[in-house]
Amino acid sequence: MIVVMQAGAPEQQVKDVLERIEALGFEAHPIYGAFKTVIGITGDTARVDIGMLETLPGVAECIRVGRPYKLVSREFKNENTVVRIPIPSGEVTIGGEAIAMIAGPCAIETREQAFAIAEPLAKAGAHLFRAGAYKPRTSPYSFQGLAVPGLEIMTELREKFGMGIVTEAVDHETLDQVERYADVIQIGARNMQNYSLLKRAGRAHKPVLLKRGLSATLDELLMAAEYVASEGNLQIILCERGVRTFSDHSRNTLDLAVVPAVKSRSHLPIIVDPSHGTGQRNKVLPLSRAAVAVGADGLMIEVHHEPDHAWSDGAQCILPSEFVMLREEVAQIARVLHRSIN
Protein backbone atom coordinates (compact mmCIF):
# COMPACT_ATOMS: atom_id res chain seq x y z
CA MET A 1 0.00 0.00 0.00
CA ILE A 2 1.15 3.52 -0.72
CA VAL A 3 0.28 6.71 1.13
CA VAL A 4 0.65 9.81 -1.02
CA MET A 5 1.13 12.99 1.02
CA GLN A 6 -0.20 16.34 -0.18
CA ALA A 7 2.31 18.48 -2.08
CA GLY A 8 4.20 20.58 0.47
CA ALA A 9 2.88 18.65 3.50
CA PRO A 10 5.00 19.77 6.47
CA GLU A 11 7.61 17.42 7.93
CA GLN A 12 5.67 16.97 11.17
CA GLN A 13 2.64 15.61 9.28
CA VAL A 14 4.85 13.10 7.45
CA LYS A 15 6.38 12.09 10.79
CA ASP A 16 2.93 11.62 12.35
CA VAL A 17 1.84 9.37 9.47
CA LEU A 18 5.05 7.31 9.70
CA GLU A 19 4.49 6.87 13.43
CA ARG A 20 0.87 5.85 12.95
CA ILE A 21 1.84 3.21 10.35
CA GLU A 22 4.52 1.80 12.65
CA ALA A 23 2.15 1.83 15.63
CA LEU A 24 -0.15 -0.40 13.59
CA GLY A 25 2.71 -2.90 13.28
CA PHE A 26 3.73 -2.19 9.66
CA GLU A 27 6.97 -0.97 8.15
CA ALA A 28 6.90 2.49 6.61
CA HIS A 29 9.26 3.37 3.73
CA PRO A 30 9.18 7.09 2.93
CA ILE A 31 10.50 8.53 -0.33
CA TYR A 32 10.99 12.27 -0.17
CA GLY A 33 10.39 13.76 -3.64
CA ALA A 34 10.96 17.38 -4.66
CA PHE A 35 7.25 18.20 -4.25
CA LYS A 36 5.62 15.24 -2.61
CA THR A 37 6.45 12.54 -0.12
CA VAL A 38 5.11 9.05 -0.69
CA ILE A 39 5.21 6.33 1.94
CA GLY A 40 5.26 2.64 1.09
CA ILE A 41 3.70 0.32 3.66
CA THR A 42 4.91 -3.28 3.74
CA GLY A 43 3.60 -6.19 5.75
CA ASP A 44 0.20 -7.84 5.56
CA THR A 45 -1.52 -4.64 4.44
CA ALA A 46 -4.87 -6.30 3.72
CA ARG A 47 -5.93 -5.36 7.27
CA VAL A 48 -5.01 -1.65 6.95
CA ASP A 49 -8.00 0.65 7.23
CA ILE A 50 -7.55 3.00 4.26
CA GLY A 51 -10.30 5.33 5.47
CA MET A 52 -8.51 5.89 8.77
CA LEU A 53 -5.18 6.71 7.09
CA GLU A 54 -6.84 9.08 4.66
CA THR A 55 -8.22 11.18 7.50
CA LEU A 56 -4.74 11.94 8.86
CA PRO A 57 -3.62 15.55 8.28
CA GLY A 58 -1.51 15.97 5.14
CA VAL A 59 -2.54 12.68 3.47
CA ALA A 60 -3.72 13.12 -0.14
CA GLU A 61 -4.65 9.51 -0.86
CA CYS A 62 -3.92 5.86 -0.13
CA ILE A 63 -3.50 3.36 -2.94
CA ARG A 64 -3.53 -0.40 -2.69
CA VAL A 65 -0.86 -1.81 -5.01
CA GLY A 66 -2.17 -4.77 -6.95
CA ARG A 67 1.27 -6.24 -7.64
CA PRO A 68 3.07 -8.39 -5.09
CA TYR A 69 6.08 -6.06 -5.14
CA LYS A 70 5.59 -2.59 -3.73
CA LEU A 71 8.77 -0.56 -3.24
CA VAL A 72 10.18 -1.39 -6.67
CA SER A 73 6.88 -0.77 -8.47
CA ARG A 74 6.04 2.17 -10.72
CA GLU A 75 2.98 2.80 -8.59
CA PHE A 76 5.22 3.50 -5.61
CA LYS A 77 7.61 5.75 -7.50
CA ASN A 78 6.77 7.14 -10.87
CA GLU A 79 10.13 8.70 -11.77
CA ASN A 80 12.94 6.43 -12.94
CA THR A 81 15.48 5.57 -10.28
CA VAL A 82 18.92 6.82 -11.18
CA VAL A 83 21.55 4.75 -9.39
CA ARG A 84 24.54 6.92 -8.52
CA ILE A 85 27.91 5.23 -8.22
CA PRO A 86 30.77 7.34 -6.89
CA ILE A 87 34.04 6.22 -8.51
CA PRO A 88 37.57 7.63 -8.15
CA SER A 89 37.29 9.64 -11.38
CA GLY A 90 33.82 11.09 -10.62
CA GLU A 91 30.40 9.51 -10.69
CA VAL A 92 28.64 7.00 -12.93
CA THR A 93 24.86 7.03 -13.14
CA ILE A 94 22.68 4.16 -14.30
CA GLY A 95 19.06 4.81 -15.19
CA GLY A 96 19.40 8.38 -16.42
CA GLU A 97 20.06 9.70 -19.89
CA ALA A 98 23.49 8.09 -20.20
CA ILE A 99 23.89 4.40 -20.98
CA ALA A 100 26.49 2.74 -18.74
CA MET A 101 29.21 0.50 -20.13
CA ILE A 102 30.47 -2.16 -17.73
CA ALA A 103 33.27 -4.36 -18.99
CA GLY A 104 35.94 -6.79 -17.88
CA PRO A 105 36.88 -10.46 -17.82
CA CYS A 106 34.71 -13.16 -16.30
CA ALA A 107 37.29 -13.58 -13.53
CA ILE A 108 40.50 -12.05 -12.27
CA GLU A 109 43.12 -14.68 -13.15
CA THR A 110 46.43 -12.94 -12.53
CA ARG A 111 47.57 -9.37 -11.88
CA GLU A 112 49.09 -9.24 -15.40
CA GLN A 113 45.87 -10.45 -17.03
CA ALA A 114 43.79 -7.91 -15.08
CA PHE A 115 46.04 -5.00 -16.07
CA ALA A 116 46.24 -6.13 -19.71
CA ILE A 117 42.46 -5.91 -19.91
CA ALA A 118 41.75 -2.91 -17.68
CA GLU A 119 44.20 -0.55 -19.35
CA PRO A 120 42.65 -0.58 -22.85
CA LEU A 121 39.16 -0.56 -21.33
CA ALA A 122 39.98 2.56 -19.32
CA LYS A 123 41.40 4.16 -22.47
CA ALA A 124 38.20 3.21 -24.33
CA GLY A 125 36.20 5.16 -21.76
CA ALA A 126 34.71 2.32 -19.68
CA HIS A 127 34.08 3.69 -16.18
CA LEU A 128 33.05 0.45 -14.53
CA PHE A 129 35.33 -2.60 -14.51
CA ARG A 130 33.65 -5.89 -13.75
CA ALA A 131 35.38 -9.15 -12.90
CA GLY A 132 34.80 -12.01 -10.53
CA ALA A 133 36.87 -12.82 -7.47
CA TYR A 134 34.28 -15.39 -6.37
CA LYS A 135 32.88 -17.46 -9.23
CA PRO A 136 29.75 -19.58 -8.91
CA ARG A 137 30.73 -22.45 -11.23
CA THR A 138 28.65 -25.39 -12.32
CA SER A 139 31.50 -27.76 -11.44
CA PRO A 140 33.28 -27.64 -8.06
CA TYR A 141 36.45 -28.60 -9.94
CA SER A 142 36.40 -25.50 -12.16
CA PHE A 143 38.33 -22.34 -11.26
CA GLN A 144 36.47 -20.70 -8.35
CA GLY A 145 38.14 -17.28 -8.42
CA LEU A 146 41.13 -15.79 -6.56
CA ALA A 147 39.02 -14.55 -3.61
CA VAL A 148 40.61 -11.71 -1.56
CA PRO A 149 43.81 -11.48 -3.70
CA GLY A 150 41.45 -10.94 -6.66
CA LEU A 151 39.68 -8.13 -4.81
CA GLU A 152 43.06 -6.59 -3.99
CA ILE A 153 44.07 -6.62 -7.66
CA MET A 154 40.82 -4.82 -8.48
CA THR A 155 41.58 -2.20 -5.83
CA GLU A 156 44.91 -1.56 -7.56
CA LEU A 157 43.12 -1.18 -10.91
CA ARG A 158 40.60 1.15 -9.31
CA GLU A 159 43.35 3.43 -8.07
CA LYS A 160 45.45 3.28 -11.22
CA PHE A 161 42.69 3.79 -13.80
CA GLY A 162 40.00 5.58 -11.75
CA MET A 163 37.34 2.98 -12.67
CA GLY A 164 34.62 1.75 -10.33
CA ILE A 165 34.61 -1.96 -9.50
CA VAL A 166 31.66 -4.32 -9.95
CA THR A 167 32.11 -7.79 -8.51
CA GLU A 168 30.01 -10.70 -7.34
CA ALA A 169 29.27 -11.90 -3.82
CA VAL A 170 28.19 -15.53 -3.60
CA ASP A 171 27.27 -15.76 0.10
CA HIS A 172 27.21 -13.74 3.33
CA GLU A 173 30.95 -13.95 4.03
CA THR A 174 31.94 -12.95 0.52
CA LEU A 175 29.38 -10.13 0.57
CA ASP A 176 31.16 -8.67 3.62
CA GLN A 177 34.40 -8.67 1.60
CA VAL A 178 32.84 -7.42 -1.62
CA GLU A 179 31.08 -4.57 0.20
CA ARG A 180 34.45 -3.44 1.52
CA TYR A 181 36.27 -3.46 -1.85
CA ALA A 182 33.69 -2.91 -4.61
CA ASP A 183 31.63 0.03 -5.83
CA VAL A 184 28.74 -2.21 -6.93
CA ILE A 185 27.80 -5.59 -5.42
CA GLN A 186 26.73 -8.16 -8.01
CA ILE A 187 24.25 -10.89 -7.09
CA GLY A 188 24.47 -13.60 -9.75
CA ALA A 189 21.71 -15.45 -11.56
CA ARG A 190 22.05 -18.54 -9.36
CA ASN A 191 21.56 -16.48 -6.23
CA MET A 192 18.58 -14.45 -7.44
CA GLN A 193 16.33 -16.37 -5.07
CA ASN A 194 18.78 -16.64 -2.20
CA TYR A 195 16.55 -14.56 0.03
CA SER A 196 18.89 -14.29 2.99
CA LEU A 197 21.67 -13.04 0.69
CA LEU A 198 19.27 -10.55 -0.90
CA LYS A 199 18.37 -9.22 2.53
CA ARG A 200 22.04 -8.88 3.41
CA ALA A 201 22.58 -6.95 0.15
CA GLY A 202 19.66 -4.75 1.17
CA ARG A 203 21.57 -3.76 4.30
CA ALA A 204 24.73 -2.94 2.32
CA HIS A 205 25.68 0.65 1.69
CA LYS A 206 26.58 0.06 -1.96
CA PRO A 207 24.42 -0.30 -5.10
CA VAL A 208 23.35 -3.85 -5.97
CA LEU A 209 23.44 -5.33 -9.47
CA LEU A 210 20.82 -8.09 -9.47
CA LYS A 211 20.96 -10.61 -12.31
CA ARG A 212 17.85 -12.42 -13.45
CA GLY A 213 17.69 -16.10 -12.50
CA LEU A 214 18.13 -18.77 -15.17
CA SER A 215 14.41 -19.44 -15.35
CA ALA A 216 12.96 -16.51 -13.43
CA THR A 217 9.83 -14.69 -14.54
CA LEU A 218 9.74 -10.91 -14.46
CA ASP A 219 7.63 -10.94 -11.29
CA GLU A 220 10.15 -13.25 -9.61
CA LEU A 221 12.98 -10.90 -10.58
CA LEU A 222 11.06 -7.92 -9.20
CA MET A 223 10.22 -9.82 -6.00
CA ALA A 224 13.95 -10.53 -5.59
CA ALA A 225 14.59 -6.79 -5.98
CA GLU A 226 11.83 -6.17 -3.43
CA TYR A 227 13.80 -8.22 -0.89
CA VAL A 228 16.78 -5.89 -1.35
CA ALA A 229 14.57 -2.77 -1.24
CA SER A 230 12.64 -3.93 1.81
CA GLU A 231 15.87 -3.76 3.85
CA GLY A 232 16.37 -0.13 2.86
CA ASN A 233 18.57 -0.29 -0.25
CA LEU A 234 16.81 1.07 -3.32
CA GLN A 235 20.02 1.48 -5.30
CA ILE A 236 19.29 -1.59 -7.41
CA ILE A 237 20.23 -2.26 -11.03
CA LEU A 238 18.43 -5.17 -12.69
CA CYS A 239 20.26 -7.24 -15.29
CA GLU A 240 18.88 -9.41 -18.09
CA ARG A 241 21.43 -12.18 -18.78
CA GLY A 242 19.42 -14.67 -20.79
CA VAL A 243 17.10 -17.44 -19.67
CA ARG A 244 16.88 -21.18 -20.36
CA THR A 245 14.63 -22.13 -23.25
CA PHE A 246 14.33 -24.97 -25.78
CA SER A 247 16.53 -22.94 -28.09
CA ASP A 248 19.85 -24.73 -28.64
CA HIS A 249 21.71 -22.30 -30.87
CA SER A 250 23.06 -20.24 -27.99
CA ARG A 251 23.98 -20.68 -24.31
CA ASN A 252 20.83 -18.86 -23.18
CA THR A 253 18.00 -16.93 -24.82
CA LEU A 254 18.49 -13.21 -24.29
CA ASP A 255 15.03 -11.92 -23.44
CA LEU A 256 15.21 -8.33 -24.68
CA ALA A 257 11.45 -7.95 -24.46
CA VAL A 258 11.88 -7.87 -20.69
CA VAL A 259 13.49 -4.41 -20.92
CA PRO A 260 10.32 -2.46 -21.83
CA ALA A 261 8.33 -4.77 -19.54
CA VAL A 262 10.54 -3.78 -16.59
CA LYS A 263 10.19 -0.12 -17.55
CA SER A 264 6.42 -0.29 -17.36
CA ARG A 265 6.26 -2.20 -14.05
CA SER A 266 9.22 -0.75 -12.16
CA HIS A 267 11.19 2.45 -11.70
CA LEU A 268 14.48 0.52 -11.45
CA PRO A 269 17.08 0.64 -14.21
CA ILE A 270 17.80 -2.47 -16.25
CA ILE A 271 21.01 -3.36 -18.06
CA VAL A 272 21.71 -6.23 -20.46
CA ASP A 273 24.51 -8.80 -20.39
CA PRO A 274 24.76 -10.16 -23.95
CA SER A 275 27.87 -12.21 -23.06
CA HIS A 276 26.14 -14.71 -20.75
CA GLY A 277 22.96 -14.10 -22.72
CA THR A 278 24.42 -15.70 -25.83
CA GLY A 279 27.61 -17.45 -24.73
CA GLN A 280 29.15 -16.73 -28.14
CA ARG A 281 31.47 -13.84 -28.88
CA ASN A 282 30.20 -13.28 -32.43
CA LYS A 283 26.72 -12.58 -31.03
CA VAL A 284 27.79 -10.01 -28.46
CA LEU A 285 27.91 -7.04 -30.86
CA PRO A 286 24.54 -7.61 -32.58
CA LEU A 287 22.75 -8.23 -29.28
CA SER A 288 24.42 -5.16 -27.74
CA ARG A 289 23.04 -3.04 -30.56
CA ALA A 290 19.60 -4.52 -30.01
CA ALA A 291 19.76 -4.05 -26.23
CA VAL A 292 20.51 -0.36 -26.55
CA ALA A 293 17.82 0.02 -29.21
CA VAL A 294 15.22 -1.58 -26.96
CA GLY A 295 15.96 0.82 -24.11
CA ALA A 296 18.55 -0.83 -21.85
CA ASP A 297 20.22 1.50 -19.36
CA GLY A 298 23.57 -0.18 -19.74
CA LEU A 299 25.55 -3.09 -21.14
CA MET A 300 27.75 -5.52 -19.28
CA ILE A 301 30.30 -7.12 -21.58
CA GLU A 302 32.94 -9.78 -20.94
CA VAL A 303 36.29 -8.74 -22.39
CA HIS A 304 39.58 -10.65 -22.35
CA HIS A 305 42.93 -9.85 -24.00
CA GLU A 306 43.39 -13.57 -24.83
CA PRO A 307 39.86 -15.04 -24.99
CA ASP A 308 41.07 -18.45 -26.12
CA HIS A 309 43.18 -18.76 -22.98
CA ALA A 310 40.64 -17.37 -20.52
CA TRP A 311 40.18 -19.50 -17.39
CA SER A 312 36.39 -19.12 -17.64
CA ASP A 313 33.83 -18.08 -20.28
CA GLY A 314 36.43 -17.54 -23.03
CA ALA A 315 33.94 -18.41 -25.78
CA GLN A 316 31.87 -15.35 -25.01
CA CYS A 317 34.69 -12.87 -24.36
CA ILE A 318 35.53 -10.21 -26.93
CA LEU A 319 38.87 -8.43 -27.36
CA PRO A 320 39.46 -4.94 -25.94
CA SER A 321 39.73 -3.63 -29.54
CA GLU A 322 36.32 -5.17 -30.33
CA PHE A 323 34.91 -3.47 -27.24
CA VAL A 324 36.08 -0.11 -28.61
CA MET A 325 34.19 -0.76 -31.85
CA LEU A 326 31.11 -1.96 -30.00
CA ARG A 327 31.08 1.18 -27.87
CA GLU A 328 31.29 3.38 -30.96
CA GLU A 329 28.45 1.55 -32.67
CA VAL A 330 26.09 1.59 -29.75
CA ALA A 331 26.85 5.29 -29.19
CA GLN A 332 25.36 5.94 -32.64
CA ILE A 333 22.23 3.97 -31.77
CA ALA A 334 21.99 5.79 -28.43
CA ARG A 335 22.02 9.13 -30.23
CA VAL A 336 18.87 8.20 -32.15
CA LEU A 337 17.21 7.65 -28.77
CA HIS A 338 18.53 11.00 -27.42
CA ARG A 339 20.84 9.18 -25.07
CA SER A 340 24.61 9.06 -24.68
CA ILE A 341 27.16 6.48 -23.58
CA ASN A 342 29.13 6.93 -20.39
Q: For residue 276, which of 111, 134, 105 has the smallest C-alpha distance?
A: 105
* Cα separation, 277 vs 250, whole angstroms: 8
* Cα separation, 287 vs 298, whole angstroms: 13
What's the closest the beta carbon of residue 338 comes to ligand PEP, in angstroms?
Answer: 30
236 binds Mn ion (CB under 5 A): no
The contact set with ligand PEP (CB under 6 A) reads 106, 132, 136, 188-190, 211, 241, 276
Beta carbon nearer to ligand PEP, 223 or 243: 243
What's the closest the beta carbon of residue 164 comes to ligand PEP, in angstroms?
Answer: 16
Q: For residue 210, which of 235, 170, 191, 238 has the smallest C-alpha distance?
A: 238
Binds 284: which of ligand PEP, Mn ion, none (CB < 5-8 Å by kind) = none
What's the closest the beta carbon of residue 136 comes to ligand PEP, in angstroms?
Answer: 6
Binds 211: which of Mn ion, ligand PEP, none (CB < 5-8 Å by kind) = ligand PEP
Q: How many residues does the chain have?
A: 342
By beta-carbon distance, which residue lies closest to ligand PEP?
188
What's the closest the beta carbon of residue 27 comes to ligand PEP, in angstroms?
Answer: 30
Phi first, then psi, for residue 287 (nearest 5°) are -75, -25
Calculate the CA 333 to chain-centre distance.
22
Beta carbon nearer to Mn ion, 24 or 315: 315
Beta bridge mates, 251: none
* Cα separation, 258 vs 236, whole angstroms: 16
Binds 241: which of Mn ion, ligand PEP, none (CB < 5-8 Å by kind) = ligand PEP
List the one residue from 17, 83, 106, 287 that touches Mn ion (CB under 5 A).
106
Binds 72: which of ligand PEP, Mn ion, none (CB < 5-8 Å by kind) = none
What's the closest the beta carbon of residue 276 comes to ligand PEP, in angstroms?
Answer: 4
Beta carbon nearer to Mn ion, 107 or 224: 107
Residue spans of beta strands (DSSP E) within the chain: 2-5, 27-32, 37-42, 59-63, 83-87, 90-94, 98-104, 128-130, 164-168, 184-187, 208-211, 236-240, 270-272, 298-302, 340-341
The contact set with Mn ion (CB under 5 A) reads: 106, 313
